[in-house]
Structure formats: structure tokens, C-alpha cells
Structure 1
Amino acid sequence: MKPRIVAFIPVHNEEKSIRDCLAGLGDQSLPKDIELDVIVIADNCTDRTEEVALEAGQEFNLRLKVLTTKNNKQRKVGALNAAWKSIYGDPLDLYEKKSTIFEDYYRLSVKAILGMDADSRLAPGALFQLWEGLMSARNIGGVMAKYTMRMPKKKSLISGDDVYYEEKMASGDYGGPIERWWTHQQKQDMASWLLDLQYSGGSTYVLGGQATLFRPEALQYVIDENKLDGPWQDESDVEDMLLTWQIQKKWKTLISPTARCFVDAMRSYHTFRQQRNKWQSGTVELLTNSDIGVKSKHKGKIWRSQIKSLIDLIIRLLFILLLVLAIATDQFYWSWVWITPVVIASVLNTILAIKTPMHRTIDVILAALLISPEIYLWVNLVTFINAWLGKLSANKKDGWANQYNAERGNTRSKLTEGIIAIVLLITLATYICIDQRAFLTSETVQTAVKPYLQTGWKILTYLTVYTSLAMLYQIWKLRGKHTA
């Protein structure tokens, strides 16, 4: 029996995206004498996902089977483990089942497991590149593709009288200016993360579930080491990060410098927030929960990322507070030195925008003006606050359920209410400053406020100098030839 790669693709009502995912696998050129098998795991599907997958398997000449889960309450984790058990058996089976000779040989023939999401598509040649990366050394446990968010086409390209207008819009292939802008921000964020990993040697603290090639021995090691019935666990909202940390105890985890995978982005503020809430909350839980019992050599890098978010938040809140207080008490003095960090940030974001694959001119301009980066940063800071407040809360939220409900339109965003509240707060503050102008600019108030302003500006200066030096270091690293 020839050696093979087996692809695990968990699906839940993915009839619109599964065909494109399988088409990408049909495009792959396999290494010599290597075969590809595809297992689509249908988890509680109520649409035509299974039927579409089988039709696509025939269309693209794939060795494909559909595995239907039974009594699965662990969603994606349970679906992936079901595929694993279909090959390697279930240690929780009450009856000892003797495997056939064919099953034994098949098990031995599996040299790599490809974990993929149904809304992902490998670029031609990506699977071959992942295979080369995995087989380049015996101690590599997993290699992840480089992810690039797919930019939706302009919906203005669809004629208003096109009889298929609604169908085309429902397909998700088209989007308006806001959706396209939002997609690019996620794409640039991903590009920045991938570049940082590559400049740090290519080792990654998370093998993303969108497209990662695993060595079966590494997955089996996780099972044996932790007494599990399958490699994936639902103890964390970031099951892929948890698995990566467990693999890292013995194996290397890398990103491929060449293999690319195209993935769908979150098209709206609400769905993005729910996804990032899940990611951020899961990351915080892994960092702080000793009961999970996993560590990563990248833990310092992740903590530094959390501290950076905290510093970014403090700088902005402190600047707003000091600026309002200084203007209200007529003690504001402009200094051109303040332009320095703004210029550095503009240069950094322009470079990142240019290094982002398939970028648009408008995105580079908005990055240089710091309009897009600042809006995107504030959204992430809100997520950062929400994750840490959730850590202190007694009620544990189901991140997967919240994300699923947001994507299905079962919940709505509170963005409008938030914007209204901010506008009202600004209006109220402006009114008070104008109405109480004489009192606020009196010598008594100015004298009382001045020491706090001086201390606040000094703290803000130190923090700004630190972040400016960090940005200069990042710009220096970006001089390399790595691509995102």
C-alpha cells in the first residue's frame, strides 16, 4: 500500500463552501508515490453538505468519503477526533475490536494528516510544499500554511437587474466597500503576524486549523502523553493552540515559507468581534489556567503581545484624559515632538500594507494616514478588555456558540448603541467645559490640576518612547525579504 496523506475536513452546514475547498485539493500536485485520501466529517448537518461533498469528490477525482458523526457534543473537536478514530481506533470502545490486515496496513501507510476548514482553499502546489516542510526533519510535528484572507469581489460588478443578484450576494463572493475594507484589515493583521513568526525563525505557537499538515506520530504522542481518546480537546476555545503547545513538548511546529492557503474573513464588526473574543479569551485561559497543564516556549512572546495591548490601551486613554483636562483648564501646549511617534507608526503600517499579499492602493493610503490601523486597533482593544474581564467573571461564556450564532445572524452587534453613547459622552463633556469655562480656567483649579497633568504627561512620554522604539525595531526587522 502506497504512503498517503489523509485530509480531515470537519463541516457543519457548509454546502456553499465545501466544493471550493475540495476543488483546491483537486488542484494539488502530490509528491511522487504519495496518495491523497479525503475524509469530510459531516457534523449535525441539516443542509446538502454531504451530497455536495460527494459530488465534488467525483468531479475532482478525489478519493473521498463522508463520515457522519454520532452524538457529537464537542463540535469541531469531536468531528476531528471522529476522523482520527476511524483510522486509529477508539480507546474508549468497551469491546476489544481486532483490526483487519487491510486496516493495519492502511494505518501504517498514513504518513501525514492534513487538518482543513471547509471555508479554506489551498493554493496550487501548497500541499507539496507542506509535505516537503514536514519531511525535511524527523522532529517536525506540524507545518502550517500561510493564511491570506480572500477579498470579496465588488458587489457593484453585479448588475441590478441580474436575475441571480440575490443568489450571488448570498454566496459570499461579493461584498460592499465596508466588507472589503474590513477583510483587508484582517489580511494585514495576519500578514504582520506571519512576518513576525518568519523573522523569529519560522516557529509558531499555533498550528492553525485552516490548513496544517501533522505528523501522525506527533498526534499520537499527544494522546499517549495526556491519556486522551483523540488529539483534539475542547478544554479551550483555541483548540488548535492547545494542541500545538502539547505537540511542542517533543516536536517542532513551523510555518511554511511558501505554502499558501486562502481563507474566508469575518465580513462584519459583529462576527469579527465574536471570533476574536473566542481567540483572545482562549489565549488568556491558556496563559493563566494552570489546571490545563500546558506550556509553550512562545509563552513569553504571547505575554509580550498582551502587555503591548495593555500599553496601547493605557496610552490612548491617558492621552484622551490629559488632552481633555489640559484644554478644559487652558493648560494645553503643542509640541512638534509629538509628531515623531505618529510618523514612525505611519511608516510601519505603510510597509505592512505593502507587504500584505494582493493589497489595494486605497488600503496602503489609509494605512499611511493611520485611519485603518487606529480603527482596527480600537476594535481589538475592546476585545482585549472583554477577554480579561471575562477571565475575572464567574460565568464562563461559550466562545464557539457565540461565534456560530453571530455568523448565522442569530445575534446582533451593539456597535450602534456604543457609538451613540460615545457621542453623548463627548457632547456632555463639551457642554460642561463651555458652561463651566470660568471655573475650570481659574487660578485655583489650574494650580490644583497642574501637578497631575505634569505627572500624566511624563508617564505618557515614557510609554510613547517605549512604543516608538518597539516600532523602529519592527521596521528594522521588516527590511528582510520574507513574504507574508
Structure 2
Amino acid sequence: MSEIVPLTRSQRTHRAEPAAALEDVTTVHGFAEDFEAVLDDTSVHRSTIGCVIPAYNEEESIAQVIESLLGQTRVPDVIHVVVNNTSDATVKLASQYAGPHEVVTELGEQFTEVFVHDIGKNPDKKVGALNYGYTLVEGYDYLLGVDGDTVADAKAVEYLEAEATSDTRIGGISAIYSIDDKPIKGSLAKFLTTGQRSQFAAFNLHNLLRGRNMAVLGGQFSIFSTHALRDVMKENHQSTPWVKDSEVEDSLLSLQIKSAGYLTKISPFARADVGGMTTLRALDAQQVKWTYGAIELMWPGQRGDTKGQPFHPNLRVRWLEHFDMLMNMFVRIAFVTLLAASLSIGAFVFSYWWLIPPVVAIALNTRMALTMHNRNTRDVLFGLTLLPAEIYMWIRCSHFVRSWTRFLSRKKVDNWAMQAKAERGGGFGHWTPLILAVAVIVAMVAIWMMLPVMVQSTVLWIGWPIVGVVTVLQTLSMFFKLIRRHHGYKV
């Protein structure tokens, strides 16, 4: 455990070497050789790290976030908490940690100072807070971005710095994200959290197996080279690293860092727990904001400042994600529709072949749960029983439909404000897909009942083979993911 001792300003004269405690990590087996080489050849470069925490109404978590940073084996050289648009006690709670600190860890004595900035009303929200923080740490070697509800493992900063300093091509490195579900109460909240943990696990593992190339350097806990950020600003004629006209500021910055010739990576060791969404409306608002922002980056002509768009290397992953989601929706909706239609005229014939896709899905979901670093019984049951994972997939499909509908409607919506409202318990938009689904089902049933038997049989004769072919392709895709080597990675 780290011992934290407040200091006077005159006592801050030196700090410990950042990577001295990594010598034992190379004994961990099963990880890619490239990272083990990084740990073996860690540079003695004494880098400097400035941490920026954009905070909005984070009174429930801000103290724990600051304590986790002060408890790091490699403490940031300075910590700036940038509070914006807040209406709670975030400033008061964060201010209790303001001032210089001496932190004694296994690496020796380290010194840092915490500053709390209340910038008041900020129309640019999180982006404005991040850019404000950047001006405070632009002279440091690295900017560590930490969300106001993200708590990292004790060695997270140490691992991130060790790899960042080992290769000047690296523009940014993200930690592995998950959600700490131990404090979660309530059946629905636990179910949604488990679904999000599984979603994060799949996302992290996908990036790790892509040579640890990260499509999105999530702002929850990522370290950025300030040299890379300056190159991004110069190349894109920006006065700040983050721009305010994007719904997904971290995705856009990741694209720009990649376009500037830098690597965007994910660490196989650094871990951080982010804040999860515990209600349907909050989860809906968050996922719609993320998906809507991704669509804006992907869609031709929407982001003229994104080089290579819409087929930027980072965006190819997004296109595949959206195509997979579209296929997931098609198979589920088509299967349920054709099954109901077949039963209505007594034409359904059961085949054991239909059991293969769910069996493969269970095996894949279970294997994914077993790769989780801090898995629990709920994570494993989520994969084994299939039903919870299937329900969560339908929920994700509703987010997908809402996002594309909002984008194609060209209706201007402040998705940041919508998410904040949802997290406060306001709004009913998350019920829209269900209402539309009921209306569509009623209409389809009415139309189906009016069709002649010959037409009904023809629809089934054409529909089932199409669904069968798509299902076979999806099952093969799941099978190849199931048998793919994970190289010992834990997410």
C-alpha cells in the first residue's frame, strides 16, 4: 500500500524512476513477445506525466478516483481536476485532496500536486474541460486522461508509461476497461452491468488480438504523447487537441493520431474500472451517443477533417461492427417472424440443425467470460445460460436502431445533454424501439392474415433459405472466433 504524506511546495525536488518495479513482470507467461521485450528494454528516460480529470457531477466517485491516482506505484507528476457545469459537491470533495503530496511506494519517494479547477459553465462540456486541462500540462511528456468515475489498478500508470517511453512511434495507449460490479445493487442493474462487462471484454480482446492496435483510445484511462497531440493540432489546423463538433471526441482524436503517423495501442496489463450504466434509460443514452458519434465519423461527407474517411484504418473496425450488428438484427427478427408465420399455418418442421448456432454462441460467450481478469459467477452464467446474453443483444439492437434513425433523420440533438438527463432519471426515449416494434408486429400480423395461403407458403419458401444461409455464415464466424488463440490475454 502507498503512504500519502502532504508536502509543502518547497519539498517537491525529485521523484522515482517510473519503470523500476517492472522487472518481475517478464516472468508472466502467455503474453505477446513484443510487450515482454518492452519490459526487458525499458528506457531509463525520466518522463513527466500530467494527469487531467474532466469532472461533471462526480461527487459519488471523485474521491475514489483521486485516491487511486495517489495510490499508484508511479504517481503522475501533477493532477488537475477540471470541474465543469457541476451542480453537486464535486468541487468540495476534490478540494480535500488539493495541494502537494509525498507518496512513498515500492519505487521510492514520489512527489505530486493536486489542483482543482472549477471552470463553471462550459458550453463545450467534457471537450472543453479536456482542452482546458491540456493547456495546463502541454509542457509535460505525456497527458494522462482519466474520467471522473474511473478507478485504476495500482500499477496502471506504471505499465502505460513503461510502454509509451519504449517506442517513440506510440501516440497513445489505453488501459483495459471493465466495470466493478461489486457495489451494484438491484437485479436489473446487475444484469445491465454484466452485459456491459461482457461487451467491454469482447471489445478489449478484439483489440488485443489485432496486434494490440486500439481503434479508440478511450478517454476513461489513456495516456497520450503530448508531442503527438501537438502534431495532430498542427496537421489538422486545430488550436486544441479535442474538437467540440464531435459526439465521440476520443474516437476522432484516435483517428487523427493514427493519421499523423503514430501508433494507438492497448496495454495488456494496465487495467481500470469505469462507471457503468445501471438503468435502461442511462444505458440507452450512452450507447446511442457513442453509436451516433461513430456513424458521423464513418459516413461520407460528415467529417471532412478525417483523412481517409470513411475507410480510415480505425474506421474499418467500426464498419465491421455495424455490419455484424445489422446481421444480428436480421437473423433474430427474420427467425422470430418466420417461426411465428410457420406456426400460424402449421408449416413449421423442427430440425436439430437449428441447435448448432445457439450451442456455438454459448461456447463463445462462455469462453469470453473465462478470459475476463476479474470474472465472477454472473459473468460465467451470462454466457452459459444464453438467455441473458440474448436479451442484452436485443437491447443493443434497440440502441443501434435508435442511433441510425436519429442520424438519418438529420435531427440535431445534443446527445451529451440527453445522456446527462437520462443519468438523472429523465426521458422516455429508450422505450421508442419497443413501441415501434409492437406497432410493426400488429401491422405484420394483420397483413399476414389477409394473404392467401399460396402467398404465405411462397414467403416461407423464400424466407427460410435466406435466413438459413445467413445463419450458417454467422455460425462459421462465431466458430472461428471460438477456436482462435488468445495468446494468454486476460481482459
TM-score, length basis structure 1: 0.83
SS class of match (2:174)? strand
What residue is the counterpart of 2:290 in the other structure? 279
SS class of match (2:52)? strand
Alignment of 1:267-416 (within 5 A): 267-292=278-303, 293-294=305-306, 295=309, 296-412=312-428, 415=431
SS class of match (2:462)? helix
* Worse overlay, 262-271 or 9-18: 9-18
Instruction: Say whether residues 1:205 and 2:235 are aligned partners.
Output: no
Instruction: Quickly say closer, same or farther: Cα 1:372–1:478, change in 2 above 3 A.
Output: farther
Instruction: Quickly say closer, same or farther: Cα 1:431–1:301, change in 2 above 3 A.
Output: closer
What residue is the counterpart of 2:54 in the other structure? 10
* Distance in 2 of aligned mates of 1:52 and 1:118: 12
* Distance in 2 of aligned mates of 1:198 and 1:133: 15
Instruction: Say whether residues 1:43 and 2:84 are aligned partners.
Output: yes
The counterpart of 1:258, out of the listed 269, 274, 278, is 269
Unaligned runs of 5+ in 2: 1-12, 15-46, 103-111
Instruction: Quickly say closer, same or farther: Cα 1:337–1:427, change in 2 above 3 A.
Output: same
Instruction: Say whether residues 1:23 and 2:67 are aligned partners.
Output: yes
Instruction: Say whether residues 1:129 and 2:159 are aligned partners.
Output: yes
Instruction: Say whether residues 1:244 and 2:288 are aligned partners.
Output: no
Alignment of 1:229-240 (within 5 A): 229-240=239-250
Give the drift of 1:14.
1.7
What residue is the counterpart of 1:159 in the other structure? none
* Distance in 2 of aligned mates of 1:216 and 1:446: 68
* Distance in 1 of aligned mates of 2:133 and 2:433: 43
What residue is the counterpart of 1:92 in the other structure? none
Instruction: Quickly say closer, same or farther: Cα 1:455–1:78, change in 2 above 3 A.
Output: same
Instruction: Say whether residues 1:138 and 2:168 are aligned partners.
Output: yes
Instruction: Quickly say closer, same or farther: Cα 1:429–1:22, change in 2 above 3 A.
Output: same
Amino acid at match of 1:469: L
Give the drift of 1:27.
0.9
Q: Which structure: larger Rg?
A: 1
* Distance in 2 of aligned mates of 1:447 and 1:412: 42
What residue is the counterpart of 1:180 in the other structure? 190
Does structure 2 conserve the Cα–Cα contact (< 8 Å) formed by 1:8 and 1:114? yes
What residue is the counterpart of 2:146 in the other structure? 116
The counterpart of 1:463, out of the listed 460, 465, 470, is 470
Instruction: Quickly say closer, same or farther: Cα 1:409–1:283, change in 2 above 3 A.
Output: same
What residue is the counterpart of 2:9 in the other structure? none
The counterpart of 1:69, out of the listed 100, 113, 119, is 119
- Residue identity over aligned pairs, in percent, reads 29
What residue is the counterpart of 1:481 in the other structure? 488
Give the drift of 1:15.
2.1
* Distance in 1 of aligned mates of 2:441 and 2:320: 33
* Distance in 1 of aligned mates of 2:237 and 2:162: 31
Give the drift of 1:232.
0.6
Instruction: Say whether residues 1:54 and 2:61 are aligned partners.
Output: no
* Distance in 2 of aligned mates of 1:76 and 1:240: 11
Does structure 1 conserve the Cα–Cα contact (< 8 Å) formed by 2:363 and 2:384? yes
Give the drift of 1:423.
7.2
Amino acid at match of 1:200: R
Unaligned runs of 5+ in 1: 89-106, 154-173
Give the drift of 1:430.
8.4
Give the drift of 1:346.
1.0
Give the drift of 1:59.
9.5
Instruction: Quickly say closer, same or farther: Cα 1:129–1:247, change in 2 above 3 A.
Output: same
Query: Deviation digits for residues 174-231 of structure 1, max 9, x if unmatched?
Result: 4112211211110111011111111111001100010000000011111111121210
Alignment of 1:440-451 (within 5 A): 445-451=452-458
Give the drift of 1:36.
1.4
Name the Cα RMSD after superposition. Answer: 2.5
Does structure 2 conserve the Cα–Cα contact (< 8 Å) formed by 1:23 and 1:60? no
Amino acid at match of 1:21: V
Give the drift of 1:84.
1.6
What residue is the counterpart of 2:33 in the other structure? none
TM-score, length basis structure 2: 0.82
Does structure 1 conserve the Cα–Cα contact (< 8 Å) formed by 2:217 and 2:264? yes
Query: Deviation digits for residues 66-124 of structure 1, max 9, x if unmatched?
Result: 22326631000011111222355xxxxxxxxxxxxxxxxxx2xx111100101001101
SS class of match (1:397)? coil
Amino acid at match of 2:229: L
* Distance in 1 of aligned mates of 2:335 and 2:209: 32
Instruction: Quickly say closer, same or farther: Cα 1:230–1:297, change in 2 above 3 A.
Output: same
Instruction: Say whether residues 1:219 and 2:229 are aligned partners.
Output: yes
What residue is the counterpart of 1:96 in the other structure? none
* Distance in 2 of aligned mates of 1:139 and 1:79: 27
Give the drift of 1:353.
1.8
